[in-house]
Amino acid sequence: MLVLVVDSSTPAVTAAVAEVTADAVALRAERRSVDARAHGELLAPAVREVLAEAGAGPGELTAIVAGLGPGPFTGLRVGLVTAASMGQVLGVPTYGVCSLDALGLAATRGLDASAAPDGEAAGRVLVATDARRREIYWGVYAAGRRVTEPAVDAPAAVAARAAEFAAGAAVGEGAQRYADVLALPVRPEPCFPPADALAALAADRVRAGAPSEPLTPLYLRRPDAVAPTARKPVLP
């Protein structure tokens, strides 16, 4: 089963084609461009390129998987609108995955927390992406699972919460940007949500042929631009 994966929750614009089998997920093609100001311009060409590289037409797709964020309003909705539109046109289901979950799965994959003196906590990783406004989207993960719910906070507040949940390392663009405040060892990879992890988190739904899901974005806060609540007088 071939699945298109898209994510635009971070400055990285990601598109990939993954093959989901009974017991595995493998990428057939992937494109990633990092440009926080060009999500709309980059995603559609990337989708065409990965389909061509995978030797697949849109009609061969079984499902579409999209990163739900959290992420800044404008960039995030590019990926979700693209996924929802393609799913509707092609008549295939769409499945959403929290983008932090993909980072958390990739960051904790293969860690053996049980061998450490303090058990599971030794494998806990802080996942942090840049939320702008001097804030980060974050969550703590162990063995690929959430220890905390996704949230947005100032780096100093996240540092305190990460210590509370015994995170031993950090990953993500937000972790790299605010490494001095977070005071945790920062791993260089994964920096952005990996396409194979996004596909893996939706794989059971793909295999089961689950019904299509509404792609509800995880904004976690109000957009920068809001409608005025009242008209201002023009004349003094």
Q: How many domains does the chain have?
A: 2
213 in any annotated domain: no
89 shares a domain with 6: yes
Taking the CA atoms of 149, 220, 208 and 31 in sequence, report the sign of the dihedral they define: negative
pLDDT tens-digit map of 186-225 = 999 999 999 999 999 999 999 999 999 999 999 997 555 4
Looking at residue 122, its pLDDT comes to: 54
69 shares a domain with 87: yes
What is the spatial distance between Cα 25 and Cα 117, in angstroms, rounded to a whole number?
33
224 in any annotated domain: no
Give the number of other CB atoms < 10 A from CB of residue 63.
Answer: 27
Looking at residue 109, its pLDDT comes to: 81
128 shares a domain with 51: no
203 shares a domain with 91: yes
Continuous segment of H or E residues that includes residue 77: helix 73-90
Looking at residue 116, its pLDDT comes to: 41
pLDDT tens-digit map of 62-107 = 999 999 999 999 899 999 999 999 999 999 999 999 999 999 999 9
172 shares a domain with 56: no
What domain range includes position 13? Answer: 2-99+193-208
E runs forming strands in the chain: 2-7, 12-20, 25-34, 61-67, 94-97, 125-132, 135-142, 145-146, 151-153, 169-171
Q: Please give the backbone phi and psi of residue 68, each rounded to the nearest 5 degrees, phi first.
A: -90, 0
Q: Is the pLDDT of residue 115 over 50?
A: no
What is the spatial distance between Cα 227 and Cα 236, in angstroms, rounded to a whole number?
23
Count of CA atoms in the C-beta half-sphere (13 A) of 229 = 0
84 shares a domain with 29: yes
Looking at residue 120, its pLDDT comes to: 44
89 in any annotated domain: yes
Lowest mean pLDDT among 90-99, 114-123, 144-153: 114-123
Find the mean pLDDT for residues 39-47: 95
133 in any annotated domain: yes
pLDDT tens-digit map of 11-35 = 999 999 999 999 999 999 999 999 9
Judge if pTM exceeds 0.85.
yes
β-pairing, 25-34 vs 135-142, is: unpaired
107 shares a domain with 177: yes
26 shares a domain with 67: yes
**Comparing C-alpha atoms, which of 230, 215, 138, 131 is closest to residue 184?**
138
124 shares a domain with 51: no
Q: What CATH number does residue 135 fall under?
A: 3.30.420.200
Taking the CA atoms of 49, 54, 57 and 60 in sequence, report the sign of the dihedral they define: negative
109 shares a domain with 83: no
Lowest mean pLDDT among 109-118, 136-145, 181-190, 212-221: 109-118
Looking at residue 80, its pLDDT comes to: 97
66 shares a domain with 119: no
221 in any annotated domain: no
Q: What CATH number does residue 6 fall under?
A: 3.30.420.40
7 shares a domain with 95: yes
If pLDDT is split at 50, 70 and 90, which confidence band does 227 have?
low
